[in-house]
Chain A
Amino acid sequence: MSAVAAPSVGQATQWRAFRAVLRRDLYVTWRELPAFLAQVILQPLFLLFVFGKVLGSLNLTRHGYANLLFPGLLALTAVITAMQTLAFPLVAEFGWTKEIEDRLLAPMPTSFVAAEKVLFAILRSLVATLIMIPVGIVILGSIPWRWSGFPLFLAGLVLGALVGAGFGLLMGTLVQPQRINLLFSLVFTPLLFTGCSQYPWPSLARLRWFQVVTAANPMTYVSESLRGALVPAVPHIRPWICLVALVFAVCVLIAVGVRGFYRRAID
Chain B
Amino acid sequence: MAEDVLRGPSTGLAVEVRDLVKRYPRSPVNAVDGVSFGVAPGEVFGLLGPNGAGKTTTVGMLTTRVRPTAGTATIGGVDVVRDPVQARRQLAVVPQRSNLDRSISIRDNLVFHAAYHGVPARERERRADELLEQFGLLDRARDKPDFFSGGQSQRVMIARALTHAPRVLFLDEPTTGLDPAARLFVWDRLRELRASEVTIILTTHDMDEAALLADRVGIMDHGKLLALDTPEALMRSLEGEGTLELAADRPADGAVVEALAALGGVDRVERIQASGENGAPPPAPESQPLRVRLYLTGDAALLVAPAAAVLAEHGLALQDVKLAAPTLEDVFIHLTGRTLR
Contact = CB atoms under 8 A, between A and B. Distances in A.
A7 B118 CA distance: 15
A21 B89 contact: no
Given A101-B93, A267-B60, A13 B104 contact: no
Given A1-B41, A4-B77, A102-B99, A9 B65 contact: no
B97 to A, nearest CB: 7
B86 A6 contact: yes
A107 B95 CA distance: 18
12 contacts: A3-B10, A5-B7, A6-B76, A9-B83, A24-B112, A27-B108, A99-B99, A99-B101, A105-B88, A266-B64, A266-B66, A266-B67
Interface of A: 1-9, 13-14, 16-17, 20-21, 23-24, 27-28, 32, 97-109, 265-267
Given A20-B115, A102-B99, A3 B88 contact: no
B102 interface: yes
Nearest to B114: A20
Contacts of A7: 3
Contacts of A107: 85-86, 88-89, 116-118
Given A3-B76, A6-B86, A101-B99, A106 B7 contact: no
Contacts of A16: 118
Contacts of B275: none
Nearest to A14: B85
A24 B104 contact: yes
A1 B85 contact: no
Most buried by A among B67, B86, B160: B86
B178 to A, nearest CB: 18
Given A16-B118, A17-B117, A28-B103, A104 B65 contact: yes
A267 B12 CA distance: 29
A39 to B, nearest CB: 14
A194 B214 CA distance: 61
Given A4-B77, A266-B67, 15 more contacts: A3-B12, A3-B41, A4-B10, A5-B76, A20-B118, A28-B103, A98-B98, A99-B99, A101-B93, A102-B113, A105-B88, A107-B117, A266-B65, A266-B66, A267-B66
A105 B64 contact: yes
A267 B95 CA distance: 16
Interface in B66-115: 66-67, 76-78, 83-86, 88-93, 95, 97-104, 108, 112-113, 115
A21 B118 CA distance: 11
A20 B112 contact: yes
Q: How large is the interface on B (under 10, 10 to 19, 20 to 34, 35 or more residues)?
A: 35 or more
Contacts of A32: 103
A8 B101 contact: no
A27 B115 CA distance: 13
Nearest to A15: B118
Most buried by B among A7, A8, A101: A8
A27 B105 CA distance: 12
Contacts of B337: none
Contacts of A20: 112, 115-116, 118
B6 A8 contact: yes
A102 B100 CA distance: 8
Given A23-B115, A99-B99, A105-B64, A3 B85 contact: no
Most buried by A among B42, B102, B115: B115
A99 B100 contact: yes
B11 interface: yes
B204 to A, nearest CB: 20
Given A106-B116, A107-B85, A6 B99 contact: no
Contacts of B100: 99
A265 to B, nearest CB: 8
B14 interface: yes
B13 interface: yes
Given A99-B100, A99-B101, A102-B116, A109 B85 contact: yes
A264 to B, nearest CB: 11
